Amino acid sequence: MVTPVADMRSFAEAVPASYSDTDQDRSARDGAMVRDNSVVDITKITPETQRAAGLKKWTLYPDTLGMWVAESDFGVASVIQSAIQEAVDRQAYGYLDPALAKETTDACAAWYANQYGFAIDQDLIRLVGDVLSALDVAITHFVPNGAPVVIATPAYMPFIPLSKALGHPVIEVPLIQGDGEWAMDIDAISAALVPGSLFILCNPHNPTGRVYRRDELEELSVVVDAAGARVFSDEIHAPLVYGEAHHTPYASVSETTALHTITATSASKAWNMPGLKCAQLIFTNPADAQAFDRSGAWESFSTGILGVVANKAAYRDGQPWLTEFTELMDSNMAALDTQLAQLLPEARFARPQGTFLAWLDVRAYDPPEHIDAYLREHAQVSVTDGRSCGRGNEGFIRLCMATTPAIAEEAVTRIAAALTHRP
């Protein structure tokens, strides 16, 4: 049994001699984002500073390293903080000005055009509080009573219970764990779809980090169209992709996909402001936007004015910060790949193409059923248990790698010790 410890250095003895990471290596990674005043000096980020910030990721389980909630430990870009501070100085806490809303939806449309080559009619974008509010819109207004919601699993944890709570049966379709990447099971999705059903596409995918190629999205569109179904495309992680990967908005694939898709996105994940409550509901079928407006568009009232300010600033001026953040996340993922090979060689890990999430298969180590509770107690690390991401994901864990290289390395070291030193 591994004895819980509080100090980050106490697990060092569990690292095999073959695992080498010099002070110079760590210093280079830790300094990756210390380049100009637009970014945070991550050398000052510690578990203690994160707990003092008072956010759930670090305070719900205060004696652990917070690797579970999908948010970053790096604060926000200075351009975003300045925009928020300016609004605070004006005491802009009232109802949302339609002109500000339009500036933000215009900024979102410009981002899609510049980053993904997809021209969206900005007049068809609506604001809501978050992606789950957008999913609520898609299901409540556009899925017939009793029609199933089809979800590829593992899935973002709330998708399944929210769909059920809205009165719809849920069909889980497991992703295929291939050689080096995860893939949609198009045949199984096709078998699950019926007229009026909704397929939830998460791209880039939470939790695997997969960024789907255009040809894969084309395959999906064929079976969706043949079934007379629809797609809700969650693209909240789209700004954060690595290397050769490129995000293709599902609605951009063809005129057909544009008509049967409702897209949701936000600057909240990539630029780290989920608590400010602003997401974009993108309609690419004008009839859908009209139907939403006729319903009263009540879901838009959940949008926070400071979130609108922050999203506009991110889309307009946040690219330099995002570029550096993406580089650091890519470096963290490479380090994780190396560390797993040394400390947990039997774990399966497909290096993400996007997001700051890592999906680890540790079934080879025969983990206990409640692996999240076990790791909190015996490794003092908080993770997301794969069981919450759908059936068949026992023995998987999700890690949020949006932290400093030092914290990420320590967390994996502790997890490895806890899994390999069981009775």
User: Is the same domain home to 328 and 311?
Assistant: no
The per-residue pLDDT for 178 is 80
Tell me the residue range of the domain where 179 lies: 94-317
Whole-angstrom distance, CA of residue 313 vs CA of residue 306:
11
* Backbone torsions φ then ψ of 41, nearest 5 degrees: -80, 100
We report the CATH number of the domain holding residue 374 as 3.90.1150.10
User: Is the same domain home to 148 and 277?
Assistant: yes
User: Is the same domain home to 143 and 263?
Assistant: yes
User: Taking the C-alpha atoms of 29, 32, 34 and 35 in order, what is their torsion angle to the nearest 10 degrees?
Assistant: 150
Tokens read off for 88: 């605070």
Whole-angstrom distance, CA of residue 379 vs CA of residue 18:
21
User: Is the same domain home to 64 and 152?
Assistant: no
User: Is the same domain home to 303 and 338?
Assistant: no
From 270, 296, 317, give the residue that closes a domain: 317
User: Is the same domain home to 263 and 279?
Assistant: yes
From 267, 286, 317, give the residue that closes a domain: 317
Whole-angstrom distance, CA of residue 45 vs CA of residue 62:
16
Whether this prediction's pTM lies above 0.85 is answered by: yes
The per-residue pLDDT for 37 is 40
Domain count, the chain: 2
User: Is the same domain home to 235 and 308?
Assistant: yes
Contact 233, 221 (CB under 8 A): no
The per-residue pLDDT for 44 is 87
We report the CATH number of the domain holding residue 133 as 3.40.640.10
User: Is the same domain home to 114 and 214?
Assistant: yes
From 293, 317, 341, give the residue that closes a domain: 317
DSSP 258: H
- Across the chain, which has 423 residues, the per-10-residue mean pLDDT values are 35 37 46 47 89 96 97 95 98 97 98 98 98 98 97 98 98 92 97 98 98 98 98 98 96 98 98 97 98 94 97 97 95 97 97 98 97 98 98 97 97 98 79
User: Is the same domain home to 150 and 290?
Assistant: yes
Task: Kindly state whether residue 359 falls inside one of the protein's structural domains.
Answer: yes
The per-residue pLDDT for 350 is 96
Q: Is 15 exposed, middle or buried (0-12, 13-18, 19+ CB in 10 A)?
A: middle
User: Is the same domain home to 182 and 291?
Assistant: yes
> Burial letters for 193-219: b for 16+ Cβ neighbours within 10 Å, e otherwise?
beebbbbbbbbbbbbbbbbbeeebbeb
* Backbone torsions φ then ψ of 302, nearest 5 degrees: -85, 0
